[in-house]
Chains A and B, each alone.
Chain A
Amino acid sequence: MVCVMSLFLETAKVLVIGLAVALLANQLSPKGLMLGRDYFKESTRPLARKSPSEPSSSHRVAELSNEQVWSLFQDPGYREGRIVFVDARKESFFIEGHIPDAYPLDRFYPEKDLPAVLVAGLPAERVVVYCAGGTCEDSHYAALQLIEAGLEPSRVQVYAGGITDWMSHSWPMERGVRGSGLIGHFPP
């Protein structure tokens, strides 16, 4: 009986002190999560419709096919900054390879990249957000972050196929930071 009591007492000590240490460590860690932030928050603003006949979705941003994305990429407006691409994957993946001239925006740490994306995105006619593709939802949540930050919802769209689809077509990629000039056709 005494043995069981001492076990529970010891476990309680581990739990209480452990949770306090864990909270402190998260706060001190540069990679720590913001405890008050809802990382899966849906938009409170009305979003774009895919077509005039479709009702506005409450939490899904309009999606673009790969043909639409490719034609936007080739549009002169892309070079002029009227069309902006945003990469919503984490920084290490961005460095490995991204759509040329895309802006990085890690949605878990938006403070770092959001100002630059807003400067480019606010005057732009179209903002295309992508992530890995497939089941990845980071592009949707990053798009919602941009809309919450002030971008016009009808101008923000998601490239559903993401970088996986882009690479499967052997379309050009840029390695390193944005504007590094290290552009090539990397195999999928």
Chain B
Amino acid sequence: MIFAVFPVFPSAGRRVTGWAARCVLGGCFVYLGLNKTLNPGDFLKAVHEYGFVKQSLHLTWIAAVLPWFEVFCGVLLLMGIWVRGTAFSVLGMLLFFSALVLHRALRLHEASGIPFWEIRFDCGCGNGPVLVGRKLVENTVWAAVSLALVLSRKR
């Protein structure tokens, strides 16, 4: 049925896909962001574990602002406001977070000898301890969705 409709309205398929993509990505950012805002102390500790920020006051600012910024981006995507700019910001965050998670996982892998795909820690992603390999695959999918939204034609 769906395949029968798309050729008649070639833009309708793209519109539905774009709508679904931004709803799923936006919903995910709202959910994970809110989880962090409910436990900012846990998020602060998780960010501290990465050791990439030396000034702990800067850490406080990051932990205070980032979760709410994620919620803001999620809401914009859900509402369809500034979709390309928001998706570009989300893409930047996803690439940066993934690089941090990968770096820490590699350090743990070298230090402990645990197979990379079995490394598990609280990456501060909003859903507690996770398997790093799975998280990186998940982030890659979200990054691809964000990129698709960035490249989508502006209506």
Contacts and interface: CB of A to CB of B under 8 A. Distances in A.
Contacts of B60: 33-35, 37-39
Interface stretch (A7-15, A97-105, A143-151, A169-177): A7-15
B88 to A, nearest CB: 5
Helix, strand, loop or mixed for chain B's interface?
A: helix
A152 to B, nearest CB: 26
A3 B40 contact: no
Interface string B85-97: 1101100000000
A113 B39 CA distance: 18
Given A14-B76, A14-B86, A33-B64, A7 B150 contact: yes
A31 B37 contact: yes
Interface in B49-76: 56-57, 59-61, 63-69, 71-73, 76
B84 interface: yes
B69 A90 contact: no
Given A14-B89, A18-B89, A39 B68 contact: no
B40 A7 contact: no
B41 A106 contact: yes
A51 interface: no
A103 B43 CA distance: 24
Interface residues of A, number: 36
A175 B86 CA distance: 45
A109 B42 CA distance: 12
B38 interface: yes
Nearest to B90: A14
Interface string A138-167: 100000000000000000000000000000
Interface string A1-41: 00100110111111101110111011001011111111111
A112 to B, nearest CB: 13
B44 A11 contact: no
A186 B40 CA distance: 29
Given A21-B72, A40-B48, A31 B38 contact: yes
B121 to A, nearest CB: 10
Nearest to A34: B60
A108 interface: yes
B44 A35 contact: no
Contact of B65 (A6, A26, A31, A40): A26
Contacts of A34: 60
Nearest to A3: B154
B56 A38 contact: yes
Contact of B44 (A12, A13, A23, A33): A33
23 contacts: A3-B154, A7-B150, A14-B73, A14-B86, A15-B89, A18-B69, A18-B72, A18-B73, A19-B65, A22-B66, A22-B67, A22-B69, A23-B65, A26-B64, A31-B39, A33-B40, A33-B63, A35-B64, A39-B41, A40-B48, A90-B39, A90-B42, A108-B40
